[in-house]
Structure 1
Amino acid sequence: MQVEVLSVLLCLVATTYAGCPLGFHQHRRSCYWFSTIKSSFAEAAGYCRYLESHLATISNRDEDSYIRGYATRRGKAINYWLGASDLNLEGRWLWEGQCRMKYTNWSPRQPDNWRGNEHCLEIKRRYGNYLWNDNQCQEPSNFICEKEL
């Protein structure tokens, strides 16, 4: 009897804490953390790994709408790093882990590699929304970490 009660209590505790980690916000099967600090793209990726997550990847319009909406309503940053770059081959944008992009939402005339060395993906607040833009990887920026449930 005591073992059964203990088992039920452990299940209740486990389900209570089964959501996103503290500070992360859930959407569908992922948890997102919007940083309030700035760092380079590489530092942001390291920080996300420290949080047992990765820089956010966007695979569809629903996910993009959630991230853009959250950034618009609650985010305080002008831009946020996402987890893609064309560092391996100019113009070939890949998510971390070398996954090809199946969905994009580039700002008009982007990516433009304007300074000849814009190889990392950010969302940038322009005209009240956050669209995709390429930027220099060493620029300090806020960032979004993602952790799958």
Structure 2
Amino acid sequence: MMSLGLVFVLLCALASVTAAENTRRCPEGFLEHGSSCYWFSRIKGSFAEARSYCQFFGSHLARITSKDEDDFIRSKVNKTENGSPGYWLGGTDLMKEDTFMWEGGSPLSYDKWSPGQPDNNKNNPQTTENCLMLYKEYHYMWNDYPCVRKVNFICERRASTCCCKI
């Protein structure tokens, strides 16, 4: 009978061979940058629909936490020609008005708001803007936008790494 330790070593060896053959750390359709994988949707949805799509793919709406990450994402969306007015990111001020946080409750440690944003659409108080998006009209800088509007979105997940060391 094989010991548990030997089974672990064999599984790790198999994983390292598989990883050597396939060096992709992101699922098909996702782009790798740093320690994350990103999926840029070609479909549109409300903030809630976008969040559900991302969860289905084992990811979450993107959280931009550095200038490097922001530059990467903005360079990718600037290259698309799909006419989307913007892309949902995973930030809202739904918990506390005028305090944007990433879903899950972490604060924005980095931001790239367009000048004058977020403004909660102060010119039209009938329409509240509680969700964070990259807005094409503002050169894909950050903007608060009505959560019910349908725009493209960006999903993010951690890049996979092998857990075995032989």
Fold-level similarity (TM above 0.5): yes
Instruction: Report the CA distance between 1:7 and its aligned residue.
Output: 7.3
- From 119, 132, 136, the equivalent of 2:146 is 136
| Residue 94 of structure 2 corresponds to residue 87 of structure 1 | yes
1:33 maps to 2:39: yes
1:7-36 CA-to-partner distances (Å, cap 9, x unmatched) read: 756522234155110000000100000000
Amino acid at match of 2:116: R
Percent of matched pairs sharing the same residue = 45
User: 1:18 and 1:90, CA in 2 relative to 1: closer, same or farther beyond 3 A?
Assistant: same
Q: How far, CA to CA, are the matches of 2:149 and 2:23 in structure 1?
A: 36
One-letter identity of the residue aligned with 2:59: S
Determine the structure 1 residue equivalent to 2:65.
59
- Larger Rg: 1 or 2? 2
Structure 2, unaligned stretches of length 5 or more? 1-8, 160-166
Q: CA RMSD in A?
A: 2.2
Whole-angstrom distance in 2 between the partners of 1:7 and 1:121: 41
Alpha-carbon displacement from aligned partner over 1:19-57 (angstroms, at most 9, x marks no partner)? 110000000100000000000001100100000000000
Contact conserved, 1:79 with 1:122, CA < 8 A, in 2? yes
Kept in 2: contact 1:82–1:121 (CA 8 A): yes
1:108 aligns to what?
115
Change in Cα spacing, 1:21 to 1:50, as seen in structure 2 (3 Å) is same
Tell me how many residue pairs correspond in the alignment: 146
Q: What is the TM-score of this pair, normalised by structure 2?
A: 0.80
| Runs of 4+ that moved beyond 6 A | 4-7
Q: Using structure 1 for the length normalisation, give the TM-score.
A: 0.89
The residue that corresponds to 1:12 in the other structure is 17
Q: 1:99 aligns with which of 100, 106, 109?
A: 106
Task: Structure 1: state its 5+ residue gaps.
Answer: none
CA deviations 1:75-98 (Å, max 9, x no partner) are: 633300000000011101000100
